[in-house]
Amino acid sequence: MKRIKRTSSRILAVGILDKMIPRVLSCIFLIVIWWPCAARLFDDGLDTYIKNTMKCNTVPGMTLAVVKGNETWVKGFGMADMDTDRLVNEETLFVIGSLTKAFTSALLAVLLSNNNKGISWTSKLSDILGNDFEFIDPVRTSQTTLRDILSHRTGLANTLGSLCGYPSGLTRKDMTRRLRFLPEIQPFRETFVYNNMMYMLAGHVAEVLGGDTWENLVKTKLFQPIGMHSTTVLTNPSQVSGGNTAKPYMIKEGKLVNGTERLYQIFPEEPAGAIMTNGADMVKWMKFILNKGRTETNLSLVEQNIFKECFQTMNHLDPQFYDHQISKPTFPVEDVRLGYGYGWSTSFYRGYTKFFHGGTLMAYKSLIWLFPDHNIGIFGSANGPATDESDRALNSVFYYLSDVLLSEAKWINETIACTFPKPFASPFQRPAKIDPDQVNPVKPILDKYVGRYGSVLMPDMEITKNGDTLMFRCNRIAGILHPTHVENEFKSEVTEPWEVVLSSRYGSNETELTTVVFKMDGQKANSLEWQLGYSLVFIRNQGFFDEYVKSMGAESRFGWRIFVFIMCLNIVLI
Ligand SMILES: *[C@@H]1O[C@H](CO)[C@@H](O)[C@H](O)[C@H]1NC(C)=O
Ligand SMILES: *[C@@H]1O[C@H](CO)[C@@H](O)[C@H](O)[C@H]1NC(C)=O
Ligand SMILES: *[C@@H]1O[C@H](CO)[C@@H](O)[C@H](O)[C@H]1NC(C)=O
Ligand SMILES: *[C@@H]1O[C@H](CO)[C@@H](O)[C@H](O)[C@H]1NC(C)=O
Ligand SMILES: *[C@@H]1O[C@H](CO)[C@@H](O)[C@H](O)[C@H]1NC(C)=O
């Protein structure tokens, strides 16, 4: 689901990277490890193609796992750690981001298969969670089902809280109670609004049904019976640099540099994107799915009628969320998206049914494709460079492999793997940005804005002054507030971490600016409205936990304050 709402960014990044490639080429070395079992699939032609694709897209390391019937291949390419020259091998762990969502829905399928309380995909959340559950309006509160939250059709906004980093002390139950403040951005059940918080909620439902933490449940009900013994959940940032893990890399001034380790903790949204796994274990996962919920020892973990719903289209995909459909005559083949189930999308690739999902967590990008009618599965993950180049690399490798596995004539080649969507379609060019609000800015007195502001949905926002510059910080995200010609209105520019700066650039060398408006009470600001892709009100001198207590008893006070918002910076976590 990588492409959702990133419409332009995916293609756009092509522009800058084209310019960077010559410099980048001199800095990376791609080394390939051979695995004897891989010999039949990974022949010289495929091998050269993958190396070339990684090189021109600046991908430091990649793992690939393939299943076809009872044959499997796993192979590592490139670097897991560029400082020590450690290579990716078939055991190297990668963070798979939103590929985690399919584990959360499969876990629920297991729990629903074994419940005697009549709970199903269409049970109301209010019946399962009772008083802990409420959404912004009575219709959603009384009607929302597991099917709605898993297929991204609640129409509610996401938050960027996990990107900032929530304060410790928050629990999933507590976050679930706060979801009543999430504003609506689309009508209920009408369209597709991708929402990681809804998978946090689904993870919490699993906790209530299974009587344990999501982390323990996903381990005991899935990883262990399927035999995924190396698979784990990313809960501590140090996991991305320890052991046999592919370390995250991002691109800065044309060079691959270390990713920002502290970002790799997304509590409480782990059920939406925090599984770490490797090619060898993902072979077992793909076989489990292709065998309709049976393990290698022929143990059935789920009722088939319950499990199959995960792969059925429950929500159409709104074309406005995509850069393009791959279809004739623009492209030589078609890969037409049909819709979304529970952590799985469906498309028809060259007429074959394909289940797929993408995953991003900061620098890591992953992809899984299954052709269920042919018992074919492909998994891949890359540890950089935190731009859409890794998407292009993975997709280019997957199209090539799919054609080999399906015995179709190849349409993609080494040239196209470095230029896609060119030569078939033009990359979307973002027009040069001139922000009229920034012309002739007022010279504001900054002291009246300085302070700490809190929200019920996001970590606290700290506004400080550095000389004549107003600065903001929301835990791990920080930047500058530029004055505009409108009084009390600023444009926020994220300056750290670099991963977020990269993802908000959309192919130009400027960071996307978003609006922050202060609301005044006499000479001092008493609240601010941050539009980091959506608008959210922060109240002066209220902490994340204080606000929660007060607002729980005074919803109307917040109901109107939380503005309808549009999510467009949900880029580094999908
Ligand atoms: C794989 O499947 C084929 C036919 O479906 C069978 O002939 C072969 O023995 C199987 N190989 C293994 C290793 O199970
Ligand atoms: C990257 O991290 C490693 C430690 O994991 C360190 O030795 C190295 O100097 C770092 N590189 C840069 C460019 O910061
Ligand atoms: C797996 O078990 C099912 C029913 O329990 C049975 O029908 C099927 O033949 C078994 N498959 C294999 C490969 O043993
Ligand atoms: C790759 O395919 C494109 C489009 O079909 C074609 O123009 C180009 O010559 C091909 N390149 C190679 C190296 O085969
Ligand atoms: C990048 O920034 C420089 C000045 O800092 C500017 O001259 C150049 O046009 C910019 N390039 C793009 C692609 O925006």
Nearest C-alpha to atom 2 of ligand 5 is from which residue?
A: 509
Helix (H, G, I), strand (E, B) or coil at 357: strand
The answer to whether residue 143 sits within a structural domain is yes
Per residue, the 3-state secondary structure of 91-119, as one string, reads CCEEECHHHHHHHHHHHHHHHHHCCCCCC
Nearest C-alpha to atom 9 of ligand 2 is from which residue?
A: 83
372 preceded by a cis bond (ω within 30 of 0):
no
Nearest C-alpha to atom 2 of ligand 1 is from which residue?
A: 70
Could you tell me the distance, in angstroms and rounded to a whole number, from the CA of residue 331 to the centre of ligand 4? 13
Query: Hey, which of 17, 433, 509, 511 would you mutate to test ligand 5's pocket, going by the most ligand atoms within 8 Å of its Cβ?
Result: 509
Could you tell me the distance, in angstroms and rounded to a whole number, from the CA of residue 84 to the centre of ligand 2? 10
Task: Please name which ligand lies nearest the alpha carbon of 291.
Answer: 3
Task: Please name which ligand lies nearest the alpha carbon of 49.
Answer: 4
Judged by phi (left if over 0) then psi (alpha if -120 to 50, else beta), residue 315 lies in beta
Q: Are 371 and 473 members of one domain?
A: no
Residue owning tokens 């952590």: 343
We report the CATH number of the domain holding residue 219 as 3.40.710.10
Residue owning tokens 């080649």: 413
Task: Please name which ligand lies nearest the alpha carbon of 71.
Answer: 1
The answer to whether residue 95 sits within a structural domain is yes
Q: Are 295 and 382 members of one domain?
A: yes
Q: Are 308 and 349 members of one domain?
A: yes
The rounded distance, in Å, linking the Cα atoms of 364 and 382 is 6
Q: Are 397 and 450 members of one domain?
A: no
* Interior/surface letters 351-361, b for 16+ CB within 10 angstroms, e for the rest: ebebbbbbbbb
The rounded distance, in Å, linking the Cα atoms of 404 and 313 is 27
Beta bridge partners of 346: 339, 355
Among 368, 386, 417, where does a domain finish?
Answer: 417
Rg of the chain in Å (alpha carbons): 23
The counts of H helices and E strands in the chain are: 19, 22
Nearest C-alpha to atom 7 of ligand 4 is from which residue?
A: 423
The answer to whether residue 10 sits within a structural domain is no
Find out whether 528 and 539 touch, Cβ atoms under 8 Å. Answer: no
Angle of helix 7-25 relative to helix 44-56, nearest 10 degrees, comes to: 100
Could you tell me the distance, in angstroms and rounded to a whole number, from the CA of residue 84 to the centre of ligand 4? 37
Which residue type is seen at 290?
L
Among 384, 417, 450, where does a domain finish?
Answer: 417
Find out whether 268 and 171 touch, Cβ atoms under 8 Å. Answer: yes
Residues 6+ apart with CB under 8 A from 482: 438, 441, 490, 491, 492, 493, 513
The rounded distance, in Å, linking the Cα atoms of 310 and 152 is 13
| Mean pLDDT by groups of 10 residues along the chain of 574 residues | 30 26 29 43 89 97 97 97 97 98 98 95 98 96 98 92 93 96 92 95 98 98 98 97 95 94 97 98 98 97 98 82 79 94 97 97 97 98 92 97 97 97 80 61 90 94 96 96 93 90 69 88 93 80 74 35 30 50
In tens, the pLDDT along 152-164 reads 999 999 888 999 9
The rounded distance, in Å, linking the Cα atoms of 147 and 498 is 36
Nearest C-alpha to atom 5 of ligand 2 is from which residue?
A: 241
Among 417, 448, 479, where does a domain finish?
Answer: 417
Could you tell me the distance, in angstroms and rounded to a whole number, from the CA of residue 482 to the centre of ligand 5? 19
Residue 438: predicted pLDDT: 67
Residue 374: predicted pLDDT: 98
DSSP string, 394-456: HHHHHHHHHHHHTTPPP---TTHHHHTTTTTSPPPPPPPP--GGGSS-----GGGT-EEEE-S
State the closest ligand 1 atom to the C-alpha of 70, by its place in the atom list counted from 1. 1
Rounded to a whole number, what is the distance in angstroms from the first to the last CA of the chain? 7
Q: Are 109 and 255 members of one domain?
A: yes
The rounded distance, in Å, linking the Cα atoms of 286 and 66 is 9
Residue 10: predicted pLDDT: 28
The answer to whether residue 37 sits within a structural domain is no
Find out whether 365 and 62 touch, Cβ atoms under 8 Å. Answer: no
The rounded distance, in Å, linking the Cα atoms of 52 and 459 is 42
Q: What is the dihedral of CA 202, 205, 210, 214, to 10 degrees?
A: 50
497 preceded by a cis bond (ω within 30 of 0):
yes
Could you tell me the distance, in angstroms and rounded to a whole number, from the CA of residue 241 to the centre of ligand 2? 10
The answer to whether residue 20 sits within a structural domain is no
Residues with CB under 6 A from ligand 5: 508-509
In tens, the pLDDT along 409-462 reads 999 999 999 999 999 998 765 555 556 666 677 788 999 999 999 999 999 999
Burial class (CB in 10 A: 0-12, 13-18, 19+), 122: exposed
In tens, the pLDDT along 173-210 reads 999 999 999 998 889 999 999 999 999 999 999 999 99
Write down the mean pLDDT value for the chain: 86
Residue 513: predicted pLDDT: 81
The answer to whether residue 529 sits within a structural domain is yes
Query: Hey, which of 258, 261, 264, 383 would you mutate to test ligand 2's pocket, going by the most ligand atoms within 8 Å of its Cβ?
Result: 258
Nearest C-alpha to atom 3 of ligand 2 is from which residue?
A: 83
User: Total domain count for the chain?
Assistant: 2
Nearest C-alpha to atom 10 of ligand 1 is from which residue?
A: 70
State the closest ligand 5 atom to the C-alpha of 16, by its place in the atom list counted from 1. 13
Could you tell me the distance, in angstroms and rounded to a whole number, from the CA of residue 258 to the centre of ligand 2? 6
Judged by phi (left if over 0) then psi (alpha if -120 to 50, else beta), residue 413 lies in beta
Find out whether 12 and 427 touch, Cβ atoms under 8 Å. Answer: yes
The rounded distance, in Å, linking the Cα atoms of 187 and 203 is 24
Could you tell me the distance, in angstroms and rounded to a whole number, from the CA of residue 256 to the centre of ligand 5? 21
State the closest ligand 1 atom to the C-alpha of 71, by its place in the atom list counted from 1. 1
Distances (CA, A) of 349 to 3, 162, 332, 370, 421: 17, 34, 12, 11, 16
Could you tell me the distance, in angstroms and rounded to a whole number, from the CA of residue 409 to the centre of ligand 4? 13
Q: Are 475 and 534 members of one domain?
A: yes
Instruction: Determine the structural domain holding residue 566 and report its residue range.
Output: 436-573
The rounded distance, in Å, linking the Cα atoms of 13 and 505 is 8
Burial class (CB in 10 A: 0-12, 13-18, 19+), 468: exposed
Nearest C-alpha to atom 11 of ligand 1 is from which residue?
A: 70
Find out whether 59 and 321 touch, Cβ atoms under 8 Å. Answer: no
φ/ψ of residue 464, rounded to 5: -130, 175
φ/ψ of residue 556, rounded to 5: -60, -30
Q: Are 202 and 253 members of one domain?
A: yes
Residue 36: predicted pLDDT: 41
Nearest C-alpha to atom 11 of ligand 5 is from which residue?
A: 509
Q: Are 69 and 190 members of one domain?
A: yes
Residues with CB under 6 A from ligand 2: 83, 241, 257-258
Residue owning tokens 């439902």: 205
The answer to whether residue 51 sits within a structural domain is yes
Q: Are 343 and 405 members of one domain?
A: yes
Q: Are 361 and 490 members of one domain?
A: no
pTM, whole model, 2 decimals? 0.89
Could you tell me the distance, in angstroms and rounded to a whole number, from the CA of residue 509 to the centre of ligand 5? 6
Could you tell me the distance, in angstroms and rounded to a whole number, from the CA of residue 415 to the centre of ligand 4? 6
Residue 7: predicted pLDDT: 27
Q: Are 85 and 194 members of one domain?
A: yes
Dihedral sign for Cα 421, 424, 425, 427, please.
positive
We report the CATH number of the domain holding residue 467 as 2.40.128.50
Q: Are 394 and 497 members of one domain?
A: no
DSSP string, 54-79: HHHTT--EEEEEEEETTEEEEEEEEE
Distances (CA, A) of 432 to 10, 11, 159, 505, 506: 17, 16, 28, 12, 11
Could you tell me the distance, in angstroms and rounded to a whole number, from the CA of residue 491 to the centre of ligand 5? 19
The answer to whether residue 19 sits within a structural domain is no
Residues with CB under 6 A from ligand 1: 69-70
Judged by phi (left if over 0) then psi (alpha if -120 to 50, else beta), residue 288 lies in alpha
